[in-house]
Structure 1
Amino acid sequence: MHPDDQIDQKLTPQQPASLSAEGASSVRMIGRHRAAVPPRRGVRALLGSTPVRVALATGVTCCLGAAAVASAPDTDEVPTAQVAEAVADRALADDVASRALERSAAPTPASPSPSASPTVSPSASPTAKPSASPTPKKTPAKPSRPTPVAGLTQAQMDNAKVIVDVGVDLKLPRQGLVVAVATAMQESTLLNYASGVLPESQDYPHQAIGWDHDSVGLFQQRPSSGWGTVRDLMRPAYAAQAFYEALLEVPGWQEMSLTLAAQAVQISAYPYAYAQHEERAATVVAALT
């Protein structure tokens, strides 16, 4: 015992007598590369059961305080060093495990570099010019008025077109169209006539005034003969339809000559006058169909 020990220290019977010899080592290194040491024993087996040994073990384990080491007897130097070494190994193992855990963690995605230029979609480029949509081809509009042929004026050609259009709507053959145009050429020279005898007829659009009884319109149809009202007969489309309906009632009109077919409808005092207009009428129909 050292003189400054406050508590009587005795070795327990279980403690080996050669304890200091076991702990004696000419070379000791810290870490994994230190020299081999004897198998470690339990802390209680190395220090014994006395309060002083317990205090020394606790001090070494916690902070390796110099005061605790200084109070230990010379015979306890080796066990104290072994305990310190064990504590250092434990701390080293804990530190390695902690750093290993940090290294095994998933890496945080790196923030994009400020110098990296962002990817710009081609469509979002401010310099990109919008593609010009193809200009649809304009269909040329049909002329509102037909071009005059066969020596007709524009007004005459317009009236001939009305006659042909009505016949086409009624699905008449080409021959019927020529008969109707030739008849209007003879009766009114393809002008919409009002009557001087019927002042009412002059209240409607007209292009000339005639004096042949109460005959009016393109076909010089008489209201008194049942062709229709003055108002209706002054409309070229109505007058043409009235003529076609009467022509369709003539039996075998398609086998007749133009002049006979026209006369069967008109009952004119000059039945052969219509034939002179057949060629010109055919030219006009060809231009309008």
Structure 2
Amino acid sequence: MPSSPPQKPPKRKRRGRKIATAAVVLLGLATYGLYRAAEENKAPESADCTVTADGDTLDMSPSQAANATTIAAVATSRGLPERALTIALATALQESRLDNLDHGDRDSLGLFQQRPSQGWGTAQQVQDPVYSTNAFFDGLVKIEGYSRLPLTVAAQRVQKSGFPQAYAKHEADATLLSAALYGRKAGALSCTTGSDTPFSAGGKLGSTSQVTARLTREFGSQVKPVAADEPRTVAVPARPAGGAAEGDGTRRGWELAQWAVAHAQDLKVEQVTFGGRKWAAAQSGKGWQKQKAGGAQGSATVKPDGYVRITVAQ
């Protein structure tokens, strides 16, 4: 399958004036104080997502982050190693920049630019991120020893690309994303909503049943969402069903929590909590914060209870 030409990937990454008179100095200080207060409380200018791990940062759009976490969720549902996720993410970064494209070279479509004419599925199927990711992994797991192969070789054997070496330039970003999205780096992914409202979807209401359905479809049967005591909230045990080998579930919990933040816009998520930390749409610019008992005015930190809680807009 020919690959798309090389694409642009997600991005890695004072004021003051002397015043002559005392009166103007005081006025300037007062104005600056108001300016600082406004800056600290204003909403983010635009919605975006950032992944930070091991001293490196990768900036993405919300849709790119959502697609990346979906790929990670599907990898988890299949019990695949982190290397498989890295290969898949590098491939999608090259083929589509992690955008679910409705166009491409000849009849190539979707995250992995899969061609219906080459047996990848129907046009509708290959534009479904869950389906297309499973199709990619179906091909990858058939390659003996794929996890030990150079990334370009493994990706090329699945994709049959016209630009096989192009995957290599995305390996560093894909490795960073894999470490974060598999939950090895707590709170590594955070998103801003571009809004000062307590939700992230322009006034639309959220649905706990939709959150539950998406979690189950993307993460598989090991994820067992339940209704929480809190209104409009889905609680997900961090430890997967039968997953004693995962210890206290911290890695899986962060994978689930970051998935929820990345999907905040399309699922109308208002708040996500896990491990004594909270992401809130209304304060999304502050990222993950310590969760306080009794709300924002509380002083005691909430003790983790092993559940990821996803609250949708009312």
The question of a shared fold, defined as TM-score above 0.5 by the shorter chain, is answered with: no
Structure having the larger proportion of residues in helix = 1
Max Rg structure:
1
* TM-score, normalization by structure 2: 0.40
Structure having the larger proportion of residues in strand = 2
The higher relative CO (CA closer than 8 Å, separation ≥ 6) is in 2
* TM-score, normalization by structure 1: 0.44
